[in-house]
Amino acid sequence: MSSPDKGNTYLEKVVAQQAVLEDDLRSSRRPAAPAPPGAMPPPPPSPIAKRSRALGAPPGEVSRPGHVEVRISGFWRWKNVLVPPNAFVVHTRRGRVEPLHVGLGVSFRFNPSTDSFLVVPGATQTILINAYCICRELQGVLVQGYVQWIIQDFGTAYRKLDFGAEDDPMRLVNVQLREQAEAAIKDKVSTMGVRDVLSDKQPIIEELTARLRAVAEGQDNGDQGLGLRIVTVQIKEAVVSSSRLWENLQKPYRAEQGQIARLAELEAQEVVEQREMAAARIKETQRLEHERELAELRARNEAELFDTEVAERLRRTKREHDDSREVAELQTETTRHALRMERERHQEEAETGRLRAEREQELRRMELDAELAMSAARARSRHEQELLELERERARAEVENGRTPAALQGQLVRTLPEIMSRLPKPDELRTVTVNGADQASVAGLVTQLAAVITALRAAAGAPGE
C-alpha cells in the first residue's frame, strides 16, 4: 500500500481495470476513412440523412442502423429488410395504429415512402457501475458492480423506452438503468458502515436487485414494468476513496499480524538456538566417541595383524605336511581306483552277456506267446461262429414255433397262388366232400390246409418234448 502523501494505488488500478473492461465490452465500429491533410472534417450526418442513405443503398449493400447489421435489398418502393435472428424489430406504416411486424428476427417488405422500422439488439446487455458513495461514517467509498439485463417483452419495451440513438440504440436505456442502479447503491451504502460495505456486499446486491426488478419488470410481474428482465446483479469491488483511511483500517490487522510474525520469529529463533546447542553437544560427543572407537580399532587391528602372521606361519607348516600326506594318499587312491575300474569293467561285461541272453530268451518266449495267442484266437473265432450259427438256428426255430395258427393261415393264403401256379393242370375235376364241407370252395380248402398244418406242427413238436 502506498504512503498517505501518494495516491491510492489500489483505487487507481481498479479504475484502470474498469476502463479496460468497458473498452472490451464496447461494440466494434467500422473505422472511418482517413480525411486528406488540411481538409475540414465533414459535419456529422443527421438521423434523417442516415436513414435516407441506408434506404437508398444499392441492392446487396449492408447498412448498420445502430450496431445491428441489417441488410436492405431491392430498389425504390420495393425493398426487403433482412433482420438478424438475434435482433428485435418493429415495423410501422403510415395510417396504421398498430405496427405491422413486431418480434425477434422478423424480416419484411419495406416501402420507404410510407414505412418506418426500428431494430434493437436482442442479446444480453451489461451495464458497468461505478458508484461513488458516502457511508454512515461520512467516508467516501467507490462501489463497482455490473447489471445484466435483456428485453423480455419488446411490445412493451419499444413503447416505453427510447431506442432511437443512431450510434447505439441501447445507450439511453443503459444510461437510465445505470443512474437508477447508482442511486440504489448510494442509498443502501449511506445506511452501512465502512467495514460492513467492505466485508459483506450481499445487502447491497439484494437492495439493487429489488429496485431494478421493480422498475424493469414491474411489481409482481405486472404490466407496469418496462418490458425488461434483470438477469443478474453483482458487486465486484468496494474501495475506500481515502488512502489514509484505507491504511488506518488496515493498521490493526497489520499490527496484529506483525506481532504474530515477530513472536513467531522469536520462537523460531529460540528453537533454532536450542537445536544448535543440542547439535553442538551431540557433535562433540560423537567426536569423542569416534576418537575412542578409532583407538580401540587401531589396537584391535594390531593384535589381529600379529595373530594373523602367527597363524599364517602355522598354517603354511601344516599345509606342507598335509600336502605330502595328500600326495601319498592320492597315489594310493589312484591305484585303488584303477583296480576298482578294472573289476567293474569285468562285471559290466558279464552283466552285458547275461542281459543279452535274457533278452534273446525273452524274444523267443514272446514269439511263442504270440503264436499261441493267434492259434487260440482262431480257435475262439471258429467256436464263436459255430455258436452264432447255432443261436441263429435256435432263434429261427423259436420264431417258427411261436407263430400262431392265424399267422400260418395268413402265410398259407399269401403263398396259395404260387403253390397253385406250380401244380400240374388236372385232366379231370373231381369233387370230394370231407366232413360235410365242399373242398372245391376256398373255405373248404383253407380248412383242409389248416388241418394239415396243425398235424405237421404236432408231428414236429413231438420229438422235442
The pLDDT tens digits for 180-230 are 888 888 888 888 888 878 887 888 888 888 888 888 887 655 557 788 888
pLDDT band at 442 (very low <50, low <70, confident <90, very high): low
What percent of the chain has pLDDT above 90?
A: 3
CB 205: neighbour CB atoms within 10 A?
17
User: What value does the CA radius of gyration of the chain take, rounded to a whole number of Å?
Assistant: 66
pLDDT band at 431 (very low <50, low <70, confident <90, very high): low
Of residues 449 and 83, more confidence is placed in: 83
DSSP state of 219: G
The pLDDT tens digits for 61-79 are 334 434 677 778 878 788 8
**Long-range contacts formed by 367-371: CB under 8 A, 24+ apart:** none
Cell of 217: 419488470
CATH architecture of 1-26+124-241: 2-Layer Sandwich (3.30)
In this prediction, residue 53 carries a pLDDT of 46
For residue 416, which phi and psi values (nearest 5 degrees)?
Answer: -60, -45
Nearest to 149 by CA among 141, 131, 161: 161
> What are the domain boundaries of the chain?
1-26+124-241, 56-122
Please state whether 103 falls in left (phi above 0), alpha (psi between -120 and 50) or beta: left
Q: Cα dist. 11→194, 237, 377, 462 in Å?
A: 16, 10, 122, 144
**Long-range contacts formed by 100-108: CB under 8 A, 24+ apart:** 102/154, 102/155, 102/158, 103/154, 104/154, 107/80, 107/81, 107/82, 107/83, 108/80, 108/81
Nearest to 170 by CA among 215, 106, 209, 228: 228
Is 262 a residue whose pLDDT tops 80? Answer: yes
In this prediction, residue 25 carries a pLDDT of 55
Strongest mean pLDDT among 45-49, 191-195, 336-340, 430-434: 336-340
User: What angle do helix axes 442-461 and 405-422 make, rounded to 10 degrees?
Assistant: 110
What percent of the chain has pLDDT above 70?
A: 74
Mean local confidence (pLDDT), 408-434: 66
Is 44 a residue whose pLDDT tops 80? Answer: no
Cell of 107: 424480416
pLDDT band at 331 (very low <50, low <70, confident <90, very high): confident
